[in-house]
Structure formats: C-alpha cells, structure tokens
Amino acid sequence: MYSTTSLNGVPTTRRYGHRVLGVWNEVWVFANENCDLLNPLENDPYFFLAGYDLKRLKAMDRTFRKVHHA
C-alpha cells in the first residue's frame, strides 16, 4: 500500500513504511495522485532503466544533493 507522509516537511511517497519517492517543491497534490495511481495495481510496478538513464539519474541526484545542502 502506497501512502503520502511528511519527511522533514517534504511530501514523501512510502510503500509499507519504506520511503520510495520524495516530491520536490512540496507538491502534495502530485504525491497523493501518485499514490492513487500506484495502489490499484495488482502486481508491483517494475521500472526498467537503461544504463544511460541510470547514470543520468544518479548525476541529477548528486546535483540536487549539492544544491540542497548548500
């Protein structure tokens, strides 16, 4: 079951108590709609990323962490 909770003031999507996705810029509507879309799925959704996509996402994550902690 997916749910939206607050983690340090940021809306966070959780699945069975584990953090799955933090929503940038505190967009609660998006976080709630995301849960509404995921909950009806019978099986766990699987996302397949190519190596290039994974490298790009990791680079973006590092950039956001630097900006957030600055």
pLDDT by residue, tens only, the chain of 70 residues:
888 888 888 888 888 888 888 877 768 888 888 888 887 775 655 666 677 777 777 777 777 666 555 4
Residue 54: what residue type?
L
The dihedral over CA atoms of 27, 14, 33, 45, expressed in degrees to the nearest 10, equals: 130
CB 11 within 8 A of CB 24: no
Delimit the domains of the chain by residue range: 2-69
Q: pTM of the predicted model, to two decimals? A: 0.51
